[in-house]
Amino acid sequence: MTSTSLSTTETVDSQGEWEPKIMAFCCNWCSYAGADLAGTSRIQYPTNARILRVNCTGRISPEFILAALNMGADGVLVSGCHPGDCHYTSGNLKARARWALMETAIEQAGVDPRRVRLQWASASEAQVFADGVRTLTEQVRKLGPIRREWV
Amino acid sequence: MSGTEDEPRIGVFVCHCGHNIAGTVDVEAVAHMASNLPGVAFAADEMFMCSDAGQTLIKEKIKEHNLNRVVVASCSPRMHEPTFRRVVEEAGLNRYLFDQVNLREHVSWCHMREPELATEKAIDLVRMSVARASKLQNLPIKKVNVLPTTLVVGGGIAGLRASLDIADRGFDVLLVEKTPKLGGNVAKWTHLFPSDETGADIIKPLIRDVKKNKRIKILTESKVSEFDGYIGNFGVTVKNLKTEKEERYEVGAVIVTTGFEPFKPVGYYSYGESPDILTLAELQELPRSEQLLKISNGKPVKKVVFIGCVGSRQPGVKGHEHCSRHCCSATAKAAADLRDRVDEVLVLYQDIRTYGKGHEEFHRMARQKHVIYSKFPQNEYPDVIVKKSKITIKWRDVLADEDLEFEPDMVVLASAMIPPEDVEETSHLFSLTRSGDGFFNPEHIKLAPLTTHTAGVMIAGAAQAAKNASESVIDASGAAAKAVGLMAQGEVEIESTVSHVIPELCSSCHTCLTACAYNAISMDETKDPPIAVVTEAKCHGCGTCAAACPSSAIVMYHSTDDQILTMVEAFLCPSPSIQGGG
Ligand SMILES: Cc1cc2nc3c(=O)[nH]c(=O)nc-3n(C[C@H](O)[C@H](O)[C@H](O)COP(=O)(O)OP(=O)(O)OC[C@H]3O[C@@H](n4cnc5c(N)ncnc54)[C@H](O)[C@@H]3O)c2cc1C
Ligand code: SF4
Ligand code: SF4
Ligand code: SF4
Ligand code: FES
């Protein structure tokens, strides 16, 4: 990776307001499909998240989340199938098992853990998906641009 | 992997999707930004990328500009990825050198009121995809043999039809039914629409043919207890529910026809408070007789009320929002039949949807026979009061704008079709997702309604959604044709997106063995220290092992660390020169 420090580029909308940048990792089978359904159902939600499709949340290594925060993401969303519903039976359980550790790691790196969100949204839960994006975006908006602080 | 080390020459095609994308996203700006990205040799916007014109454009530009990677920014890849993969392949590119950006479902349709921010998002997503594209690699196209047997789960009208169709074309069927009898729900109905037969009349010849057919192995009182493998080569364990004995089978394809269950409307219209308040399904199961008798005291029924949409079409009530689609017609049929035997028949309804071929006709026939239809308001349900074994029903008639009251001998509730109680078990076994109504999701509601996201597993009949028997049979024949097509080909292409251990990096820690849910990884003990190896045929490509490996020794093809991180970087720290129009 070329960047190891926090990026200083900030997204600014046409009115000059700061817009949170959210990196979203979605599994193909539930949450990506849920996001598709949100579109098909014309559910409107904040534009801040950029979805990256992986087969399963089990694929998402803590390294990806840390890298995103390192590169200047203001928030990171991980969205997958409900426990028990993973297309690969249990990838999401392994993602969940890693999550607590990952939260500790980002806290130690001085990043507020409220900037990351793990959620379950099935292929039919378009509203749950959209609400998740909204919740995280609003939470991050309150926290302000990404910065490191140790409290 | 065979190298694609040559310099990337990426073609980017931004789709208008008519007004669908271009109405919100400035597609020209997106294409213009893309043309300035590193590695991009060609970028353009086009009206409909999935049309013949769009597909031809891709092929022409691949030739003209010697493109070796293609990015299409259009609808969801869950819809058209296979289409565009085929297109690039026809132009001589490996299918894995294609990437799709979702500008419709994930951008234009969900940010309709924010065109500027939507365009910014579109630009980021395209930049991310282009970055990924330059890291994409050729992967081999792999084929596996297809075993010439299909497993059919559920012996209702859909399962029976599918089994016969497959057997008639010369392939073997393993038919698994959990109850002691074949026939499913249709076998129980005494008033079948649109014909004048009973369910048994219809289903008996089918069962006879299935039983006679040597190619169909029937296992009743049995359920699938384990399921593994991949398209063409599934392993199935079937458990006999009585003896608990398990047996193992191997099949090439699967059709799930597990159907539905009639909803028991506890909490609706005093159901359960009097034996004379029953569901339409329960009425249909009563033995056919000259006279309809009260369940409570055996006296003849003179007045009957039917109520429609019971447990159906309730916005906000999970699993009960859908229209059950059979009940308007089934009610009309039963009401018309009963009108000959009782004095008064009343149907209380919200809406009437007798949409099938011939259905409207017997709805009209019911009215001609003086079945009385009365519409009640959407949110003001009729009141059914049981007092000392007398039933009183009060409701508001919308058309007369009047409050009415009636004392029927019997109340019949046309209750919803809901999934069978063990549906969750079935969905986990075959990795099927379910929609809001609780029934299984097809691969695509319009383009692929019979296949699912588990390659080689089809769905048919009421397992997919509430529907009537003829629709279920149409599904069944369609799904059977899919299975036969697969088996007749004898071989099928499978995804090459599997994981791979780089032996030199493996530290022999065994972490990946526990991470994999499919036992696809084992340790090669002939090496010292032992190193992990992936059995590709068993790998489903979830990538969990790659995320778990502490030594970064596992490469998940088509979803490598590098391919993922490069997208994160392209979003968050694009080099200033490539920020393009963003
Ligand atoms: C009251 C009522 C009246 C109706 N009247 C009509 C009518 O007049 N005309 C009409 O066209 N349609 C009618 N329908 C609709 C009709 O019943 C359905 O369309 C039809 O039954 C669907 O057939 P199927 O084979 O898909 O499912 P089902 O008939 O539900 O059969 C599914 C079979 O799968 C079995 N099964 C379930 N789970 C498992 C499992 N895990 N393992 C193994 N086996 C399993 C079940 O035991 C069952 O045998 C009516 C429905 C209702 C409720
Ligand atoms: S078919 Fe008719 S009675 Fe049944 S849920 Fe639909 S509208 Fe209601
Ligand atoms: S997790 Fe990685 S290092 Fe450990 S055994 Fe598996 S491949 Fe080797
Ligand atoms: S990618 Fe998933 S299925 Fe394949 S070996 Fe790794 S953990 Fe197992
Ligand atoms: S496939 Fe969705 S979490 Fe595993």
- The pLDDT score that the predictor gives to residue B538 is 83
Average pLDDT score over residue span B479-492: 97
Question: Among B114, B436, B540, whose Cβ lies nearest the Cβ of A47?
Answer: B114
CA–CA separation, B532 and B188 (whole Å):
55
Residues B281, B322, single domain; the answer is yes
Residues B403, B305, single domain; the answer is yes
Number of neighbouring beta carbons within 10 Å of residue A145: 16
Domain boundary among B492, B519, B537: B492
- The pLDDT score that the predictor gives to residue A13 is 54
Most confident of A104-108, B55-59, B518-522: B55-59
Q: What is the DSSP string of B422-487?
A: THHHHHHHTT--B-TTSSBPPSBTTTBSSB-SSTTEEE-GGGTSS--HHHHHHHHHHHHHHHHHHH
Domain range holding B538? 499-556
- Whichever domain contains B389, its CATH number is 3.50.50.60
CA–CA separation, B123 and B571 (whole Å):
9
Contact A45, A34 (CB under 8 A): no
Residues B220, B311, single domain; the answer is no
Residues B165, B47, single domain; the answer is no
Residues B340, B362, single domain; the answer is yes
Total count of domains within chain B: 4
Mean pLDDT of chain B: 94
The alpha-helical segments, DSSP class H, found in B145-267 are 157-168, 199-212
Total count of domains within chain A: 1
Residues B26, B115, single domain; the answer is yes
Q: Is A28 part of a structural domain of the chain?
A: yes
- The DSSP element (H or E) to which A76 belongs, if any, is strand A75-80
Residues B515, B456, single domain; the answer is no
pLDDT digits (tens, 9 = 90+) for B1-46: 444 557 999 999 999 999 999 999 999 999 999 999 999 999 999 9
Q: Is A15 part of a structural domain of the chain?
A: no
Average pLDDT score over residue span B168-194: 94
Contact B389, B296 (CB under 8 A): yes
Residues B439, B384, single domain; the answer is no
Residue of B406 and B435 predicted with greater confidence: B406
Q: Is B461 part of a structural domain of the chain?
A: yes
Worst-scoring range by mean pLDDT, B324-328, B337-341, B477-481, B572-576? B572-576
Q: Is A25 part of a structural domain of the chain?
A: yes
DSSP A18: B
Ligand 5 residue neighbourhood (C-beta within 6 Å): A 27, 29-30, 56-58, 80-81, 86-88, 91-92
Which are the contacts of A127, defined by CB distance < 8 A and separation ≥ 6? Answer: A38, A43
Domain boundary among B468, B492, B516: B492
Q: Is B391 part of a structural domain of the chain?
A: yes
CA–CA separation, B567 and A133 (whole Å):
19
Instruction: Looking at the CA of B432, name the nearest ligand.
Output: 5
Residues B191, B217, single domain; the answer is yes
Whether the complex's predicted ipTM is more than 0.95 is answered with no
Q: Is B186 part of a structural domain of the chain?
A: yes
- Whichever domain contains B551, its CATH number is 3.30.70.20
Average pLDDT score over residue span B491-512: 95
Q: Is A151 part of a structural domain of the chain?
A: no
Alpha-carbon distances of A49 from A19, B168, B337, rounded to whole Å: 11, 52, 58
Tokens of B383: 């009141």
Question: Ligand 5: distance of its center to the CA of B453 in Å?
Answer: 12
Tokens of A45: 């939600």
Q: Is B466 part of a structural domain of the chain?
A: yes
- Whichever domain contains A74, its CATH number is 3.40.50
Domain boundary among B382, B417, B452: B417
What is the distance in angstroms between the Cα of B544 and the nearest Cα belonging to chain A? 4
What is the full per-residue pLDDT of chain A (151 aa) written as tens digits?
Answer: 333 344 445 555 556 689 999 999 999 999 999 999 999 999 999 999 999 999 999 999 999 999 999 999 999 999 999 998 898 989 999 999 999 999 999 999 899 999 999 999 999 999 999 999 999 999 999 999 999 887 6
Instruction: Looking at the CA of B556, name the nearest ligand.
Output: 4
Residues B453, B504, single domain; the answer is no
The answer, yes or no, to whether residue B522 has pLDDT greater than 60, is yes
pLDDT digits (tens, 9 = 90+) for B126-142: 999 999 999 999 999 98
Q: Is B120 part of a structural domain of the chain?
A: yes
Q: Is B373 part of a structural domain of the chain?
A: yes
Number of H helices, E strands in chain B: 14, 28
Say how far residue B429 (Cα) sits from the centre of its chain: 14
The answer, yes or no, to whether residue B226 has pLDDT greater than 70, is yes
pLDDT digits (tens, 9 = 90+) for B410-434: 999 999 999 999 999 999 899 888 8
Q: Is A2 part of a structural domain of the chain?
A: no
pLDDT digits (tens, 9 = 90+) for B61-83: 999 999 999 999 999 999 899 99
Domain range holding A57? 20-143
Q: Is B176 part of a structural domain of the chain?
A: yes
- The pLDDT score that the predictor gives to residue B580 is 45
pLDDT digits (tens, 9 = 90+) for B242-284: 999 999 999 999 999 999 999 999 999 999 999 999 999 999 9
Q: Is B274 part of a structural domain of the chain?
A: yes
- The pLDDT score that the predictor gives to residue A10 is 55
Q: Is A66 part of a structural domain of the chain?
A: yes
Average pLDDT score over residue span B194-214: 93
Q: Which of B75, B76, B110, B514 to mutate to test the interface with A (most CBs of A within 10 A)?
A: B110
- The DSSP element (H or E) to which B521 belongs, if any, is strand B521-524
The answer, yes or no, to whether residue B93 has pLDDT greater than 50, is yes
Which are the contacts of B212, defined by CB distance < 8 A and separation ≥ 6? Answer: none
Q: Which of A52, A86, A131 to mutate to test the interface with B (most CBs of B within 10 A)?
A: A52
Residues B213, B331, single domain; the answer is no
| Cβ of B199 less than 6 Å from ligand 1 | no
